[in-house]
Homo-oligomer: A and B are copies of this chain.
Amino acid sequence: MQKLIAAPLNPTWNVIPKTADEWKAQVNASAAATFETLPALRQELHVKVEPLTIDGVKAYMVTPENIPAENHNRLLVHVHGGCYVFSPGEAGTREAIFMAGFGRFKIISVDYRMPPDHPYPAALDDAMTVWKAAVKMASPKNMAIFGSSAGGALTLSMVLRAKKDNLPLPAAIAPGTPMSDLTDAGDSFHTNAMLDNVLVAPNALCDAGAGIYANGHDLKDPMLSPIYGDMSGFPPTILTTGTRDLLLSSTVRVHRKLRQAGVEALLQVYEAQSHAQFMRDTSAPETKEAFEEIARFFDKHLGR
């Protein structure tokens, strides 16, 4: 993990596309690079990934080679990160492969539509379409939703939306370093600026991606910035971040808000890690630790 922490700043942190075509070029270049890493990752973690379509929404079924007995009737739903604009297609499955490998759960990873072609609420709509179908494949008591960064915010927004629409809630959720406040109100947007070597600073590439996703909607809408939502009745929640994470505040503020609402909520903060570095390198002991904490939390709260 020290290698990732000591790495130079992400070279594209402030390379902001100006047009829809420029966005697509940058997103596709990034996705192509990720795509190349997937066969080795799946092989190493003994995980199979198969495309499927669920009520018109693209997704992937991510399955570990050996599913332990206690997880046979359990099903997770994954919403990937990438500032609401990166990681289309299979590139979005990386985190789900980590979770399937370290936690040995079956997972549906949602390949939600993204801007520039499909801004808000397309991503959330797609995720909810999958959720509505998924709760017929398994008991919601045996299910969890997880994802990091934009996927962490989508995880929280999905629960807000499920509450609003009187849909079944999952038994647990694991938002990793959620983009919970698109207004960048948290203190760590300032204190960790230029220290976080992944997101680096506010008002840069990732915020630009969130901007084309929001597409003019009020950034304080809880479906875009779930920190402003009513978190009463949320399922048990495990949150993950690092001390250098630009979204450290966006994570701890969600933790406090959940606790204030009486929700069982666990906070995991990893020493010196920047944004979402816990899901980068399978060989780092901290990666295994982070995913095993989440898996243990799910095992505690999910029915069988």
A residues at B contact (CB < 8 Å) = 186-188, 191-192, 195, 243-244, 248-249, 252-253, 255-256, 259-260, 266-272, 289, 293
Contact = CB atoms under 8 A, between A and B. Distances in A.
Given A191-B191, A191-B195, A256-B271, 4 more contacts: A187-B271, A252-B269, A252-B270, A255-B268
A158 B191 CA distance: 34
A157 to B, nearest CB: 21
A268 B271 contact: no
A243 B187 contact: yes
A266 B265 CA distance: 9
A191 B272 CA distance: 9
B187 A272 contact: yes
A269 B267 contact: yes
A188 B249 contact: no
B256 A270 contact: yes
Contacts of A267: 266-269
Given A195-B191, A260-B289, A289-B260, A269 B244 contact: no
A252 B256 contact: no
27 contacts: A186-B271, A187-B243, A187-B244, A187-B271, A187-B272, A188-B243, A191-B191, A191-B192, A191-B195, A243-B248, A243-B252, A249-B271, A249-B272, A252-B269, A252-B270, A253-B271, A255-B269, A256-B270, A256-B289, A259-B268, A259-B289, A259-B293, A260-B289, A266-B266, A267-B267, A267-B268, A269-B269
A184 to B, nearest CB: 14
A286 to B, nearest CB: 9
Nearest to A286: B256
Nearest to A268: B267
**What is the total number of copies of this protein in its complex?**
2
A61 B264 CA distance: 33
Nearest to A248: B243
Contacts of A252: 243, 269-271
A252 B192 CA distance: 17
Contacts of A253: 271
A266 B256 CA distance: 13
Most B CB within 10 A of own CB, among A244, A253, A266, A272: A272
A259 B267 CA distance: 12
A256 B272 CA distance: 12
B269 A191 contact: no
A289 B243 CA distance: 22
Contacts of A272: 187, 249
A243 B244 CA distance: 10
A102 B54 CA distance: 51
Closest 4 CB pairs of A and B: A187-B272, A252-B269, A267-B267, A253-B271
Contacts of A255: 268-269
A258 to B, nearest CB: 12
